[in-house]
Chains A and B, each alone.
Chain A
Amino acid sequence: MISLTIDGRRVQAKDGATILEAAQMFGIDIPTLCYHPVLTSYGACRLCSVEILQRGRSRMVVSCLYPAEEGLEIKTSSPRVQRLRRGIIELLLARCPRSERIREMARTLGVAEPRFGLENDECILCGLCIRVCHEISEKDLLSFVGRGFEKEVAAPFYEPPEECIACGGCAYVCPTGAIRMVDGKPEFLWQRKSQIGEPGSG
């Protein structure tokens, strides 16, 4: 049992829990995009960032990965946290303005119009589909490809994965709808882009 304080509330978490798990168990709301209770945490979206106070210093950590420690003091909605969250969602909103999930989160966080030019890249690189294909169907058909601006999710050689068992897990967990089930098989963003003449690259 680990005792910690979240937003002034003392809670007791089970051994091995992360800050996010402790918060969610007791109804403390922390927004997430790349987190799923059944899959391993990855820390891609950084939306779950919280401020922790340790030895008089405060720093930002991602609650989905940071383990609950005895005596930890956590602020889930401090001005610093809110600024970071709004910044992240503003960038994501500019990247995929049509995703309902992103728009709803922006609304909740009080972000209206992004200051950046709008794109139309539905994938936010959360990695959930990759983790599903690794941990659930255990087929490992998807992976991150490329770095930086060119990073995207794809199957080997950008070919439709033959070994896919069509479990639907990737489409089910995708927060933005970048993966859709078409005729019982998943259809990926890279496939749609190549259909409109852009072989692979975003």
Chain B
Amino acid sequence: MDNLRSPENRVAVPVTRRALVIGGGITGIQASLDIADAGYEVLLVEKTPSIGGHMLQYSEVFPTLDCPQCIGTPKMVEVGQHPNIKIMAYSEVDSVSGEVGKFTVTIRKKAKYVDWDRCNGCGVCQQKCLTTVPAEYNCGLPFNKRKAIYTPFAQAVPNKPVIDRDHCGHFTTGICQVCSKTCPLGDGVIDYSQEDTLVEENVGAIVVAAGFDLMAKGAISEFVEDPDIIDGLEFERILCPSGPTAGAVMRPSDGIEPREVVFISCVGSRDPELGVPYCSRVCCMYLAKQALLYKHAVHDGQAYIFYMDQRTTGKGYEEFVRRAVEEYDVMYLRGRASKIFRDGDRLRVQGADTLSGKRVDISCDLVVLGMAMMPSAGFKELARKLGIATDEYGFITELHSKFRPMETSIPGIYVAGTAQGPRDIPDSVAMGSGVASKVLRVLSLEEGGL
């Protein structure tokens, strides 16, 4: 019987036994470790100067309130030291060609203006630099700045700096050479003449773990733009003990500790009219967590959470939210907020409490918006380069929503983590391992096995 699977119909395809992982967040880190531990080489491409992703920016993670830096940095170091993993930080995929087993990928290594082969990460250049810039890692909050030559955070892997040429005094004025001249390793380690370089790499399989970004606050026009109306990630940085306020709850407009904070769920999510129709899955949990952490810091503060439902699907999640309600007096109001505006040095939130049937008008000091989770910026462009299908929001479309959640429309290219859809850390990490198994199937096949 002439069967496509019978030996005569097989074609021998040579397999490059290397994997490319795009995205150095927690999902990409997990996938890289699993593939590398199985004995195969991994190229981990990350667009920011350090791996770690959004998880490293959080204050404490639910429901255990673990410190994400404490649990995440050992994984980052493991990746950095793994003999089978090559990190290409501050790099992006430029183009892809080929097919499963033999992809050719061109990667753009963006100019760092620092020779990372010789830099030893001493940090002197960062201390000496005379140009200060708002820190993207801290969402531009006013509480601290970074330098023009910088590592995004102290535990960066690789712990080597890049120069932000848009702000660096050397590139803007042609005068300053402080970093280059004060570098203890001498001239040449910092090299202003560096340019982007393109490198070509051959890999057998590709993992897309490019992560997420939050929807912009301005997308919902009912809520005016105000320094004290912040999103979840900004509040994480404020609450974070290693963040710009050392964990002191300070609001952006004047640094005052808020006595009353209003959290609003589903901003942009579940909103076909103004935002996206889907649920972002993690906000119920992290807003409860942030309310709880706020109460840890401000014992006599009051937290309010406007909600529609409580989506607490993980282990210990429902119990965690119960704790927020019962132990920390977080006031949950079932309803939506219709308007937020400034009233002197306070903010007013007007909404509804559907369980009592009343309109609510809360005067508070800080508003935290649970913004919708979107695929990370620039993602659609990446998907186009890879030739994989995405849905209308930019999330990768999986081959089968139940049975093939990690396979894309192109064999050999797989997806994991929030790049495929909103999910929390445990599910992202699980998917990182899951996608590794898909990759290992390709890489471990004998010649002619595909």
| Partner-B contacts on A (CB < 8 A) | 1, 3, 9-14, 22, 25-27, 36-39, 132, 136-137, 165-169, 171-173, 181
Contact = CB atoms under 8 A, between A and B. Distances in A.
Given A25-B143, A26-B142, A37-B145, A168 B178 contact: yes
A169 B180 CA distance: 11
Given A25-B142, A137-B182, A169 B130 contact: yes
Given A1-B248, A169-B178, 16 more contacts: A1-B250, A1-B257, A9-B254, A12-B257, A25-B255, A26-B255, A38-B130, A38-B132, A132-B130, A136-B182, A166-B177, A167-B180, A167-B181, A168-B170, A169-B176, A171-B176
Contacts of A36: 130
B132 A172 contact: no
A1 B255 CA distance: 9
Interface string B174-199: 11111011100000000000000000
A38 B129 contact: yes
B380 to A, nearest CB: 35
Given A137-B182, A168-B175, A173 B257 contact: no
Contact of A166 (B128, B181, B245, B254): B181
B181 A137 contact: yes
Contacts of B181: 137, 165-168
Nearest to A172: B176
Contacts of B173: 172
Interface string B224-256: 000000000000000000000100101001111
Contact of A136 (B130, B132, B180, B248): B130
Contacts of A38: 129-130, 132
12 contacts: A3-B256, A25-B142, A25-B143, A26-B253, A36-B130, A37-B145, A38-B129, A167-B177, A167-B180, A168-B176, A169-B178, A173-B130
Contacts of A3: 256
Contacts of B254: 9-12, 26
Given A11-B254, A25-B255, A172 B345 contact: no
B178 A136 contact: yes
A168 B255 contact: no
Nearest 6 A/B pairs, CB to CB: A12-B255, A167-B181, A172-B176, A11-B254, A167-B178, A168-B177
A130 B358 CA distance: 66
Interface residues on B, range: 20 to 34
A14 B170 CA distance: 31
B169 interface: yes
Nearest to B181: A167
B418 to A, nearest CB: 33
Contacts of A181: 174-175
Contacts of A137: 178, 181-182
Interface of B: 128-130, 132, 142-143, 145, 169-170, 173-178, 180-182, 245, 248, 250, 253-257, 345
A29 to B, nearest CB: 14
Contacts of A11: 254-256
Given A38-B129, A165-B181, A172 B175 contact: yes
Contacts of A37: 132, 145
A100 to B, nearest CB: 13
A172 B248 contact: no
A132 to B, nearest CB: 7
Contacts of B130: 36, 38-39, 132, 136, 169, 172-173
A151 to B, nearest CB: 25
B345 to A, nearest CB: 7
A165 B186 CA distance: 11
A27 B254 CA distance: 9
Contacts of A136: 128, 130, 178, 182
B198 to A, nearest CB: 31
Nearest to B169: A172
Contacts of A172: 130, 169, 173, 175-176, 178
A181 B181 CA distance: 15
A13 to B, nearest CB: 6
A22 B170 CA distance: 29
A135 to B, nearest CB: 9
B398 to A, nearest CB: 46
A166 B143 CA distance: 33
Contact of B256 (A12, A27, A39, A166): A12
Contacts of A165: 181-182
A34 B173 CA distance: 19
Contact of B345 (A10, A14, A168): A10
A5 to B, nearest CB: 10
